[in-house]
Every structure is written in structure tokens, then in C-alpha cells.
Amino acid sequence: MVALGGDPVYSYCATAPMPDNMDEYLLAGFLRNKAVELVPCRTQPLEVPANADFIIEGYIDVDEPLVTEGTFGDHTGFYSLEDEYPLFHVTAITHRRNAVYPATVVGIPPQEDAYMGQASEKIFLSPIRLAIAPEVRDIHIPFEGTGHNIVLVKINQQYQGQPIKVAHALWGAGQMMFNKMMIVVDDDINLSDYQAVIQAIEKHYRPEYDTYFSRGPLDVLDHSTATPGFGEKMCIDATRKIKNEELRIESETLQQPNVIARRPQADEANSSYTGSLNLKLSILFDEEVDTSDFSTCVWLLGNNVDPARDCKIEAGKLIIDARSKITNDISTNLQLPQRWPNIVCMDAATIAAVDKKWDKLGLGPLFLSPSLKFQRLVRKGGVRVC
């Protein structure tokens, strides 16, 4: 069954990071402080919201072979790669009088869905603190993190190892398991102030000691991994060093993390680095990227990096390769993705068609297409480069 429209809270609850086996209607009722009114479907033994605009009824036969779906422009700002999914057999479509079909524009962030993610940050903060990690004071997912790639966390740190304990706890919490990069800071940092987060990294982060790597489930839309839906994770501890921790750092013989390093390749001259964070962190981007554009750089960092393959700690610096990875790369010993998607970007003909209709739509002064900014990042060869 697919329900479209009705109370806007339904759209949010359908995307909310609910625990397994918990009904989204319960969350909708909680947010509205009243139960969701349900009515029976016409052809299936299910109930649906009475005020939905459209209801699509049907079934899935688990014994049928999967069918190929995609590619689609997605909320990551890239085209999701084609994959196999169950086939949905439609048995009925009903709608209200004067029904309104809801739609959300997705693409390079920020788009409409980014604000739904902000709601989840606050709605689910208290359950996380009560049930999983009481030391967490706030969680923030930047728009550029597309819901899960990059997460900022601030904690009340009381003992050694607490930042990485929190990281593992959150990586095991529902849809937070899809997170790929986590930065943990102290509880006096405003997570929405990115400059303050950067200053915490500059002041407290020591790459050899404070970089932690793990692995686990990732979003199936993550194109950077060699294995769909599974890959590497990284936590950066940018908290203050507490009692005895400084002494332990000085006394330990720091070992290089056990990760596969992707060194800059022969085409390094055609690539570009961002500015270093106090010589502790450098990021390598494709030559087409404007590295003065902070938002674009963070978006590409979250999407294009597999931490184990694309990170190297060398001479006290974390080097991250956030370039596109394509199968004709001169590196032959790395597990590169089989396919690499293009970004979601309107072509010149589509932009011109929209601009031509703008006055007739009554939307006010012409708003230039955001795609103009990203056209230089579109790669030749269609949806993906193979």
C-alpha cells in the first residue's frame, strides 16, 4: 500500500528514523496529539489514513524474481545506481475529490528534504539520550551530509574513550548505522557554528591518536563503496584531552591505523586541495571543484569518500581523497566501486525551457537555476562513468 498526501506529518513520519517494528502512525499520532483516523482499503486487508489524497493498493509476490529499477536522481545529489527490487502489483488506485499529488524536489543540497532532517535531529535527541548515550548533548546533520554521511555530535565528556564509545553507540542506533563520518566535540560547541567546529578540530584533534575507523552497514545509495550497502566509517575525536589522557598520548608509540591508503595519483597536478586545518587535515578534490565553496566541498566529501580506501594519516596529517573514483584509475590494487554516478543537474535545454515559462508561472522575479553552479561538475558519458 502507498499513501500519498493528506496530513503533511505523514510524509515526515514515513522518512523518520523510527526503530524497527514501530508503527509510523504512532509517531504521527504523537506529533499531532491525536490518533490517525484509518479506513479499510478496497482490495487489500489493510487500513490507510482517511484523509490521504491518493491510495495505491497492491501486493508483492516474494517468490517472483526481482526487477531492475533506476537510475533516479536522488537526495544525495547524485543519480542512484540501478539495482534489483521487488515488483509491486497494483490492484486499485483511489483518490479524494480535488486531490493534490505531493512531490518533493531532490538533488544537490539543500533541497526541501533537508529541513525534514533537521526535525529528526530534535525529535529523536531525547530518545537517544535516554536509551542509548546519555552523555550526548546535541546532534547535528549538516544539509551537505544528505541525512547520514556527515554527523556532528557534542558530548559531556567524563572519561577516556568516551567519544569513540558514543560513536559506536550511535552507529548501532537505527538509521544512524548509515553514518559514514562522525565528528565529536565538547558540549560547549555550537554544532550549527561550523567555524567553531573547525576551531575545535584545529585545537584538539591529533590525527594519529584521534582518528578511529570501523565498518558496517551504509545506505544503498552510497556510491563510494566497493560493496553496495556496506563499507567503512570514520570518527574524528575533536574533544579536549582530559586527565591522564595527555600522559598516555605522550607515552604510547602511535601506530599507523590499519587502513588501506589511497595516495594521490599521477594526475595530482590536475587536482586541488582545500586549505589545511592547522596542517592537520587536507582534502583532495577533482580539478573542476571550486574549493572556496565550502558547501560544495562538504557535500562531495560526504559522498565520494570511502574512509578506509581514501584516507591516509601521514606526518601528523589526515589526507582525504574526495575525488571521483572511476574504473580506469591508474591504481590497480584498490577496491574501487564498479560504477560511479553523475551528479543531479539540469542540462542547458531544460534550464532554458524553465526560464522561458517563468513569467507565465507567476513566481515573481526570475530565479536563476541552481544547476548553473554545478554544470562544470557533470561528467561526460551519461548517468555514470564506467
Tens of pLDDT, residue by residue over 16-47, are: 888 777 889 999 999 999 999 999 999 999 99
Residue 250 has pLDDT above 70, yes or no: no
Residues 313 and 211 in one domain: yes
The region of weakest confidence among 59-68, 83-92, 160-169, 325-334 is 325-334
Residue 266 has pLDDT above 50, yes or no: no
Residues 293 and 226 in one domain: yes
Mean pLDDT of 330-350: 75
Mean pLDDT of 295-319: 92
Mean pLDDT of 181-204: 94
* pLDDT score recorded for residue 274: 52
Residues 335 and 226 in one domain: yes
* pLDDT score recorded for residue 299: 95
Mean pLDDT of 93-108: 91
Q: Indicate which CATH number applies to the domain containing 299.
A: 3.40.1670.10
Residue 5 has pLDDT above 80, yes or no: yes
Residues 360 and 325 in one domain: no
Mean pLDDT of 280-298: 91
Task: Tell me if 105 is assigned to some domain.
Answer: no
Residue 265 has pLDDT above 70, yes or no: no
For the stretch 196-224, pLDDT in tens is 999 999 999 999 989 999 999 999 889 89
For the stretch 335-344, pLDDT in tens is 666 678 889 9
User: Crossing angle for the helix pair 112-123 and 8-15, nearest 10 degrees?
Assistant: 70
Task: Tell me if 157 is assigned to some domain.
Answer: yes
Residue 246 has pLDDT above 80, yes or no: no
For the stretch 367-377, pLDDT in tens is 888 899 898 89
Distance of CA 312 to the CA centre of its chain: 22
Task: Tell me if 291 is assigned to some domain.
Answer: yes
Residue 188 pLDDT class (50, 70, 90 cuts): very high
* pLDDT score recorded for residue 281: 86
The mean pLDDT value of the chain amounts to 85
Residues 170 and 122 in one domain: yes
Residues 177 and 147 in one domain: yes
Residues 116 and 32 in one domain: no
CA angle 297, 300, 305 (to 5 degrees): 125
User: Which three three-digit cell numbers place residue 349?
Assistant: 535545454
Residue 116 pLDDT class (50, 70, 90 cuts): confident
Residue 273 has pLDDT above 90, yes or no: no
Task: Tell me if 104 is assigned to some domain.
Answer: no
User: Which three three-digit cell numbers place residue 94?
Assistant: 483511489
Domain ranges, residue 53: 2-95
Mean pLDDT of 290-295: 92
* pLDDT score recorded for residue 343: 92
Residue 258 has pLDDT above 50, yes or no: no
* pLDDT score recorded for residue 244: 66
Residues 142 and 275 in one domain: yes
pTM attached to this predicted model: 0.85
Task: Tell me if 352 is assigned to some domain.
Answer: yes
Pairwise CA distance, residues 211 & 119, whole Å: 29
Distance of CA 237 to the CA centre of its chain: 20
Mean pLDDT of 47-65: 95
Residue 330 has pLDDT above 50, yes or no: no
Pairwise CA distance, residues 48 & 4, whole Å: 10
> Which burial class, exposed, middle or buried, applies to 365 when counting CB atoms under 10 A from its CB (0-12, 13-18, 19+)?
exposed
Mean pLDDT of 222-231: 88
Residue 257 has pLDDT above 80, yes or no: no
Task: Tell me if 284 is assigned to some domain.
Answer: yes
Task: Tell me if 314 is assigned to some domain.
Answer: yes
Looking at 64, 95, 126, which one is the last position of a domain?
95
- Quote helix, strand, coil % in the chain, to nearest 5: 30, 25, 45
Residues 175 and 132 in one domain: yes
Residues 309 and 361 in one domain: no
Residue 262 has pLDDT above 80, yes or no: no
Residues 268 and 171 in one domain: yes
Residue 319 has pLDDT above 50, yes or no: yes
> Which burial class, exposed, middle or buried, applies to 65 when counting CB atoms under 10 A from its CB (0-12, 13-18, 19+)?
exposed
* pLDDT score recorded for residue 175: 84
The region of weakest confidence among 110-114, 155-159, 295-299, 317-321 is 110-114
Residue 252 pLDDT class (50, 70, 90 cuts): low
Residues 30 and 152 in one domain: no
Catalytic residue among 53, 74, 210, 219: 74
Task: Tell me if 100 is assigned to some domain.
Answer: no
Domain count, the chain: 3
7 is known as an active-site residue: no
